[in-house]
């Protein structure tokens, strides 16, 4: 079995030469090889965050989260995350 993979979501743009320019640096130590999955819309407009949230909220793949048995965390759990990068 291989090492576990970690996922980072970020955004960027492709230039005329098909070079990928990220909007922000990745929080990983480099140099290293990475696997890349590129998601893009057919239209040229920027994606709206609300469109992503609406799609996730209406996707039946997440219906299991509506079950009250999935409510295992409260606002008192964990610690606040403060990005210092």
The string of pLDDT tens digits covering residues 25-78 is: 888 888 988 888 888 877 655 567 777 788 888 888 888 888 889 888 888 888
Residue 60 phi/psi, 5-degree rounding, is -65, -15
This prediction's pTM: 0.42
State residue 43's pLDDT score: 65
Q: CA 56, 59, 62, 63: dihedral to nearest 10 degrees?
A: 130
Instruction: Please indicate whether residue 17 or residue 39 has the higher confidence score (pLDDT).
Output: 17
């Amino acid at each position: 079995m291989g090492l576990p993979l970690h996922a980072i979501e970020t955004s960027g743009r492709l230039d005329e030469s098909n070079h990928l320019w990220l909007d922000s640096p990745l929080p990983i130590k480099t140099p290293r090889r990475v696997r890349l999955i590129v998601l893009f819309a057919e239209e040229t407009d920027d994606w709206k965050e609300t469109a992503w949230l609406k799609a996730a909220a209406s996707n039946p793949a997440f219906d299991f989260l509506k079950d009250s048995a999935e409510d295992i965390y409260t606002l008192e759990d964990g610690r606040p995350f403060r990005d210092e990068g």
